[in-house]
């Protein structure tokens, strides 16, 4: 195993059907003013809002309501939330929602007391916070991004045509996260399967790099096998607790920094997907699904041994009498068949992308060097065209 690394994850997790019971204890660790950040109202419809408000009130907290965090949170909403947190001298930001709400909460936590423009400082220049950071706690309601146990914060700036992920250090990870699989039962099927593909893609982005024998890759293969099995159950019966709980746990481990240990990591599918998101505001997991097959075929030869291993260890493809390329191709065919089975989007047209948009999307795509092949802008255009 190559690489030198530090592994430290400061997020405390509470998992299971009774995990919300631990919120009251956690609240004792923070001051009296709690900013409750949430999205467009799903938590009011499914009862999570009432349950959380009740616990906050019993704990004697002053509640600052911060509603309307949109999917793919915008820089304008970030500025608004940062102002609100500062004006109210907030002691804890409690994010209740999916990746968008938790990402946004981390942005607010690091921006409220920052004298510089956070978009410039964190998202464009990639700097670390140098001001007071407000602690974040999270209650996850939609599975996929891993935001519940990492420092990722993705913010969209539509005016600039950019969707940028800042990965903050452990100081901005949620201090605690409550993971109750039953809270995800009301997620619409489209969002649910987009989340499933997001998980697969996170694992692959880290798995598809380097050639050394690395313990982390075996963990990745186990997580993929669990995801494939449970996703097949969940698409047929979204209220299957066993499947939904396994998927929730897999998603957290897929992107809580463990799988990048000792790995250079790829992330190019995310770069292209985020550029698509910046121009369409499409659902994150679907932007990844739509471009993945074209991308993986494009890099297949450059990363052939790993694609062979993926086919054999994850999909059980038998190798006798076949060339490495055939085995690798069969692995990708199995991946595509699974994507069709769970029902993700396989074409960019379905997300509102038109041929005229392709050059601008390519311009918004960051080109990374950690994977098996570093793309050029022309190759991104090729992949986008093939994904239409």
364 touches which of Zn ion, ligand NZQ, none (CB within 5 to 8 A by kind)? none
Question: By CB under 6 A, is residue 99 in contact with ligand NZQ?
Answer: yes
Question: By CB under 5 A, is residue 91 in contact with Zn ion?
Answer: no
Pick the binder of ligand NZQ from 66, 91, 103, 210 (CB under 6 A): 103
User: Which of these, 155, 184, 171, 183, lies nearest to 80 by C-alpha position?
Assistant: 155
Question: Closer to ligand NZQ at the Cβ: 183 or 296?
Answer: 183
How many helices, marked H, and strands, marked E, lie in the chain? 16, 8
Pick the binder of ligand NZQ from 255, 278, 286, 335 (CB under 6 A): 255
Phi, psi of 64 (to 5 degrees): -105, 110
How far is the C-alpha of 290 from the C-alpha of 178, rounded, in Å?
31
How far is the C-alpha of 361 from the C-alpha of 276, rounded, in Å?
6
User: What are 316's two structure tokens?
Assistant: 């059980």
Q: How many CB atoms lie within 10 A of CB 218?
A: 11
40 touches which of ligand NZQ, Zn ion, none (CB within 5 to 8 A by kind)? ligand NZQ
147 touches which of ligand NZQ, Zn ion, none (CB within 5 to 8 A by kind)? ligand NZQ
Question: By CB under 6 A, is residue 278 in contact with ligand NZQ?
Answer: no
- The nearest distance, CB 28 to Zn ion, in angstroms, is 34
Q: How many CB atoms lie within 10 A of CB 28?
A: 7
Interhelix angle 284-299/377-386, rounded to 10 degrees, is 110
Question: Closer to ligand NZQ at the Cβ: 251 or 317?
Answer: 251
Pick the binder of ligand NZQ from 11, 19, 100, 180 (CB under 6 A): 100
Mark 159-178 with x for binding to ligand NZQ (rule: CB under 6 A) and - for no binding.
Answer: ------x-------------
- The nearest distance, CB 31 to Zn ion, in angstroms, is 33
Question: By CB under 6 A, is residue 365 in contact with ligand NZQ?
Answer: no
User: Which of these, 109, 107, 89, 102, lies nearest to 32 by C-alpha position?
Assistant: 89
Question: By CB under 5 A, is residue 266 in contact with Zn ion?
Answer: no
How far is the C-alpha of 67 from the C-alpha of 15, rounded, in Å?
25
User: What are 43's two structure tokens?
Assistant: 């938590």
- The nearest distance, CB 32 to ligand NZQ, in angstroms, is 26
Question: By CB under 6 A, is residue 150 in contact with ligand NZQ?
Answer: yes
Q: Which residue has the tokens 């004006």?
A: 87
Counting beta carbons within 10 angstroms of the beta carbon of residue 36, is it exposed (0 to 12), middle (13 to 18) or buried (19 or more)? buried
Q: What is the dihedral sign for C-alpha 192, 198, 199, 200?
A: positive
How far is the C-alpha of 234 from the C-alpha of 251, rounded, in Å?
14
362 touches which of ligand NZQ, Zn ion, none (CB within 5 to 8 A by kind)? none
CA 195 to chain centre: 8
Pick the binder of ligand NZQ from 81, 97, 135, 137 (CB under 6 A): 97
- The nearest distance, CB 89 to ligand NZQ, in angstroms, is 26
Mark 175-214 with x for binding to ligand NZQ (rule: CB under 6 A) and - for no binding.
Answer: --------xx-xx---x---x--x----------------
User: Which of these, 301, 307, 387, 311, lies nearest to 348 by C-alpha position?
Assistant: 387
- The nearest distance, CB 270 to Zn ion, in angstroms, is 6
Question: By CB under 6 A, is residue 306 in contact with ligand NZQ?
Answer: no
Pick the binder of Zn ion from 198, 217, 266, 330 (CB under 5 A): 198
Question: Closer to ligand NZQ at the Cβ: 42 or 230?
Answer: 42
Q: Which residue has the tokens 């392709």?
A: 358
Instruction: Write the CA distances from 23 to 10, 113, 298, integer angstroms.
Output: 17, 26, 47
- Contacts with ligand NZQ, residue ranges (CB under 6 A): 39-43, 46, 71-72, 97-101, 103, 141-142, 144-147, 150, 152, 154, 165, 183-184, 186-187, 191, 195, 198, 255, 270, 284
Which chain residues interact with Zn ion by CB under 5 A?
198
């Amino acid at each position: 195993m190559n690489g030198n690394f530090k592994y430290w994850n400061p997020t405390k997790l509470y998992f299971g059907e009774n995990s919300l019971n631990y919120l009251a204890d956690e609240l004792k660790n923070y001051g009296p003013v709690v900013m409750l950040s949430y999205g467009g109202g799903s938590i009011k419809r499914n009862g999570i809002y009432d349950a959380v408000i009740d616990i906050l009130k019993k704990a004697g907290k002053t509640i600052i309501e911060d509603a309307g965090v949109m999917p793919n949170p915008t820089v304008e909403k970030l500025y608004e939330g940062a102002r609100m947190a500062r004006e109210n001298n907030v002691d804890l930001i409690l994010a209740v929602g999916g990746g968008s709400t938790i990402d946004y909460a981390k942005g607010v936590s690091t921006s409220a007391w920052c004298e510089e423009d956070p978009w410039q400082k964190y998202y464009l220049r990639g700097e670390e916070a140098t001001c007071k950071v407000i602690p974040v706690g999270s209650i996850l309601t939609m599975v996929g991004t891993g935001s519940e146990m990492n420092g990722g914060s993705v913010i969209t700036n539509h005016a600039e045509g950019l969707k940028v992920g800042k990965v903050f250090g452990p100081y901005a990870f949620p201090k605690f996260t409550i993971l109750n699989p039953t809270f995800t039962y009301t997620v619409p099927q489209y969002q649910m399967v987009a989340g499933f593909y997001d998980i697969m893609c996170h694992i692959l982005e880290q798995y598809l790099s380097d050639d050394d024998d690395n313990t982390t890759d075996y963990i990745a293969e186990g997580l993929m096998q669990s995801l494939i099995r449970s996703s097949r159950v969940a698409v047929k019966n979204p209220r299957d607790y066993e499947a939904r709980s396994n998927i929730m746990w897999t998603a957290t481990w897929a992107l809580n920094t463990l799988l990048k240990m000792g790995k250079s990591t790829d992330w190019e599918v995310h770069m292209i997907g985020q550029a698509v998101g910046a121009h369409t505001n499409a659902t994150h997991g679907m932007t990844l699904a739509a471009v993945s097959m074209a991308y993986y075929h494009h890099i297949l030869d450059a990363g052939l041994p790993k694609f062979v291993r993926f086919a054999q260890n994850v999909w059980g493809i038998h190798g006798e009498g076949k060339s490495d390329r055939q085995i690798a191709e069969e692995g990708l065919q199995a991946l595509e068949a699974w994507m069709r089975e769970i029902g993700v989007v396989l074409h960019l047209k379905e997300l509102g992308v038109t041929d005229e948009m392709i050059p601008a999307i390519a311009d918004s795509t960051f080109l990374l060097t950690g994977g098996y092949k570093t793309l050029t802008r022309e190759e991104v255009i090729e992949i986008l065209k093939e994904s239409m």
